[in-house]
Amino acid sequence: MNQSLASARTPATLEVVPLGGLGEFGMNMMAMSWEDTTIVIDAGVMFPDPDQLGVDLIIPDLTYLESRRAQLKAVVLTHGHEDHIGAMPHVLPLFDGPVYGTGMTLALIEPKLAEHGVNPGDRLHVVKPRDRVTVGPFTIEFIRVTHSMPDCVALAITTPVGVVIHTGDFKIDQTPLDGEHFDLHRFAELGTQGVLALFGDSTNVDRPGFTGSEIDVIDGFEEVFTSTEGKLVVATFSSSIYRMQVLVDLAAQFERKVAFVGRSIVQNTEIAQRLGYLRVPGGMQIRDSDIANYAAQDVLCITTGSQGEPQAALPRIAIDDHRYVKLSPDDTVVLSARAIPGNEKAVARTMSHIARRGADVITNSMKKIHVSGHGSAEELKLLISLVRPRYFVPVHGEYRQLAQHARLAERVMKGHAPRVQVLLAQDGDTIQFDARGARIGEKAPTGRILIDTTRVGEVGDDVLRDRRHLAGDGIVVAMVAIGRTGDLIGTPEVVSRGFVVGEENPDALFDDAARAIAACIESTGVEERTDQGLMTEKLRGELRRFFKKRTGRRPLVLPVLMEI
C-alpha cells in the first residue's frame, strides 16, 4: 500500500536535457532519458570566437553523459552538419551502443572517427526516412525533411508518456534538387494522432516569409557564368552538396571543367559522389594541380573558405599563397554563403585581398547566389500548425530566437484546446514530462570544452588566458640565478617579445624591473627562496604588478629561476 502511494506521488518521468544548442548557434546535443535508458540526439560542435586563441572547436561539456555511462544506450543523428556531428569522436567512447543516422550522415562521421583513432566497429547503423528503431522504451521514427544538404531527417520518438518530435535543422523546400520532398503528410498524421512535445529549430524565426529553394540560386549563377571571362572561383560550405550540384550542372552547360579545392570539400564531394548525392559527368572533374593546364575561361573552382578562415583555400588564394590556384584581373570570385556572426571582418579582409589581385568579387547582396537552409517564420508556423503539440520547446538559436519562436508558437496555437504550453529552456535545464504534465526542473551540469586539434586535447581557461595575454601584451621573461643558500647571484636579466613599453625607456624600465626582483628576493625568507615553485609564483605576481603599474599593460610574465 505504501509503495503504491509512493508510486502515485512520484510517477515515472521522461527527462530531456539540452546539453548544447539552446542559447547559442551550434554545439547541438540533447539527452533523453526514461528510467535506466538514455539516448543522445545529435553531437555537434561550435566554432570559436576570434578571442579564443588557438581553439579550433568547442564541444558541450560531457559530464552529464559521463555520469550516465551505464544507461547510455544509443546516439541518434538528424543530419551531417558539423554543428550536429562534430563531437562524435568525443561521445562515441563513452558507451558501447549503436549510432543511428542516414547514409550521408554516417559517411561524414567515419573520417572524423578515423582522425581521432576511434574505431566504430559495427556500431554505425544506416537508416532511411520512415524507418523505425527501438532503443529500450523508445521507438524512433525517421522523417524526411529538406535542408541545405542531402539525407536530413526529423525524429518522432514514441515514449511511455507520448510522442516527442525533434525537427533537426529544416526548411520546407517544395522544389528540392534531388526530388526528395519534405514529408508534410507524416507530420500531419502525427499531429492528428497526438503529439506530446515538439522541439523546433529556431534559427531563422526572425526572418519573415519563406526561405528560398535551393534552385533559386540558379538564375543568379547563370548571370555570373555568362559574364565571367576568366576563371570562376566559388566559395561555399564544404557540406553544401546541393549548391555544388547546381554549380556542376552550370559548368557542364557553359563547358567549364570543375576543380574542388580544399581538403574538406574534396573529402565531402568524394563521399557525396560515392553515395550518389553529387553527380559529376565523366571527364569534367579535374584536380587542382591540373588547373594551370587549362585556359582560365574553361575552369570553375569550388573552394572552402567562405568564412575567411585563414587556413582554408579561398583566403590563401586571395593572398596569392595557394600552390595551384592564382587569380588574375579577368577572374570572378563568388562568396556563396552568409557570413556567420563574428566572421564579418575575416570575410571583408579576404574580399580586399581578392580585389588587390584585380579579380571581381560577388556576394549575396549583389546577386541571388545563396539561400539559407533553415525555415523562416511562415515555415515554422506551418509545422507547428500541422503537429499541434501539447508542449512546445524552441531549440537551436540564441535566446532571442528561442523567445521569439515561443511567442510565434503561442500565436499559432491560440484558440486550440488544450492550449499549447511553451517551455522556454536553456542548456542544462532538465525538462520533465510525466502523467501530471511538463515542467523545467533542476539544472544538469553543462558548459563548454575548448579543443585544440593540434594538441589533440582540451584548452583550459588558464591556457586561453595566457594566449590572450601573449596576443595582447606580449611576454616578459625574467632570468634569475639563486644560490643554494637562497642568495641572489648577479643581476636578474629581463627580456621581452611583443611587449610595448609606451613612452618608457625600455632599458630603464627593465633595470627597474631587475631591481624590483632583487628587492622581492631580499624581503623573502630563506626557506621560501630555496623553494623554486613558491619563489617563481611570488616573482610572477610581483612583476605583473610592476608592469601593470608602470605601463598599464599585462604581459605574460615568465620567471625562470636557476639554482647555482
pTM for the whole structure = 0.81
Tell me: pLDDT of 56 over 80: no
pLDDT for the residue 476? 84
pLDDT for the residue 161? 97
23-44 average pLDDT score: 95
Measured in whole angstroms, how far is the alpha carbon of residue 459 from the centre of its chain? 16
Cell, residue 200: 523546433
pLDDT for the residue 3? 44
402-413 average pLDDT score: 96
Tell me: pLDDT of 139 over 60: yes
* Omega before 418 within 30 of 0, i.e. cis: yes
Segment 148-166, tens digit of pLDDT: 999 999 999 999 999 999 9
Work out the pLDDT band at 484, boundaries 50, 70, 90.
Answer: confident
Tell me: pLDDT of 13 over 60: yes
Tell me: pLDDT of 537 over 90: no
Work out the pLDDT band at 6, boundaries 50, 70, 90.
Answer: very low
pLDDT for the residue 339? 84
- Domains identified in the chain and CATH numbers: 12-209+372-452 (3.60.15.10), 215-362 (3.40.50.10710), 461-563 (3.10.20.580)
Segment 433-452, tens digit of pLDDT: 999 999 999 999 988 887 76
Q: CA–CA separation, 254 vs 246, rounded Å?
A: 12
Residues 6+ apart with CB under 8 A from 479: 492, 493, 494, 495, 560, 562
Q: Are 317 and 344 in contact (CB under 8 A)?
A: no
Tell me: pLDDT of 350 over 50: yes
Segment 163-182, tens digit of pLDDT: 999 999 999 999 999 999 99
Work out the pLDDT band at 5, boundaries 50, 70, 90.
Answer: very low
Tell me: pLDDT of 51 over 60: no
- Percentage of residues in the chain having pLDDT higher than 90: 69
- Percentage of residues in the chain having pLDDT higher than 70: 92
411-428 average pLDDT score: 91
Lowest mean pLDDT of 29-43, 111-125, 289-303, 532-546, name the range: 532-546
Is pLDDT larger for residue 497 or for residue 295? Answer: 295
Burial class (CB in 10 A: 0-12, 13-18, 19+), 339: middle
pLDDT for the residue 325? 96
Work out the pLDDT band at 461, boundaries 50, 70, 90.
Answer: low
Segment 181-219, tens digit of pLDDT: 999 999 999 999 999 999 999 999 999 999 999 999 999
pLDDT for the residue 310? 75
Q: Are 145 and 168 in contact (CB under 8 A)?
A: yes
Tell me: pLDDT of 260 over 50: yes
Q: DSSP character for 295? A: -
Give the Cβ contact number of residue 294 at 10 Å: 14
Segment 362-394, tens digit of pLDDT: 999 999 999 999 999 999 999 999 999 999 999
Q: What's the per-residue H, E or C state across 216-251?
A: HHHHHHHHHHHHCCCCEEEECCCCCHHHHHHHHHHH
Q: CA–CA separation, 388 vs 328, rounded Å?
A: 56
Q: Which residues are designated catalytic? A: 201, 374
